[in-house]
Amino acid sequence: MVRMKNYKNWLWFLLFGSLWGLSEVIVGEALWAKSLPYASVLLSAWALLMLAMGRGIVNVPGSSAAIGAFAALFKLVNAAPFFCHLLGIFTLGIAFDIAATLLMKKTRKFSFRSLLTGVISAYSGYALFALLITYIIRYDVWTQGGLSRVLHHIFVSGSYAALTGLVAVPLGFWVGINGEVFAERRPRWAYAGAIVALVVVWALGRIVG
């Protein structure tokens, strides 16, 4: 059985979290700088893909939350510390972890559950973020927007993100499962490749950050 304590699993968590974080640093910063509408949806699509790939390789509770934490850490280290963005990353990771644990824990192939996981993760992640930042953290921009902004984020932006999840999660899960098969057959190549990819991703983060 795969265990969270297996140090090799943490290499995968760090890799997928870093790939997610890199998109936040490169693509996210560019989108936010131009104030493009629904920028979070594009970022969430990539995030859900990374989360699903990680879950396909290491399908245990807590793995997706770890990936989200590493993504937030990557952005914190390599970009300006906009804590609302860090919160959005982490809440999506938590939401995906809960949904995947409930629906996909023992799944090792494409199923309706992976589609449902993508939809539930998007809506619950967006809802958790909006409620926390508006009513608990009370970030000025969100408190000024009030309930209408919260509802728009959950049901409009969240709906767009859920649509991307219908594709991103099943695709990522399938890639992850096949990646696990390759890692079991060629462990040295798989882990060596993961380490090289990590070095490249972090180097890019430092260059463009």
Residue pLDDT, tens place only, 3-23: 555 778 899 999 999 999 999
More confident residue, 95 or 82: 95
* Contact between 193 and 62 (Cβ < 8 Å): no
Supply the pLDDT for residue 99. 97
Supply the mean pLDDT for the chain: 91
CA-CA distances (angstroms) from residue 142 to 146, 151, 155?
6, 11, 16
More confident of the two residues 71 and 112: 71
Place of tokens 């493009």: 36
Residues whose CB falls within 8 Å of the CB of residue 105, separated by 6 or more in sequence, listed in order: 59, 60, 61
Cβ atoms of residues 139 and 194 within 8 Å? no
For range 99-104, the mean pLDDT: 94
- The confidence score (pLDDT) of residue 1 equals 39
**Inter-residue contact 89 to 20 (CB < 8 Å):** yes
As a whole number of angstroms, the distance between CA 37 and CA 34 comes to 9
pLDDT surpasses 70 at 40: yes
Kindly report which listed range (98-102, 115-119, 178-182) carries the lowest average pLDDT score.
178-182
Q: Is the pLDDT of residue 33 over 90?
A: no
How much is the pLDDT for 15?
Answer: 97
Query: In the prediction, which pLDDT does 208 show?
Result: 85
Higher pLDDT, 110 or 115: 115
Give percent of the chain above pLDDT 90. Answer: 73
Q: How does residue 106 score in pLDDT terms, banded at 50, 70 and 90? A: confident
Q: Please give the sequence-ordered ranges of beta strands (E in DSSP) within the chain, or none if there are none.
A: none
CA of residue 149 relative to chain centroid, distance: 23
Q: What is the pLDDT of residue 3?
A: 53
Phi-psi sector, 110: left (phi>0), alpha (psi -120 to 50), beta = beta
pLDDT band, very low/low/confident/very high, at 35 (cuts 50, 70, 90): confident
**pLDDT at position 2:** 45
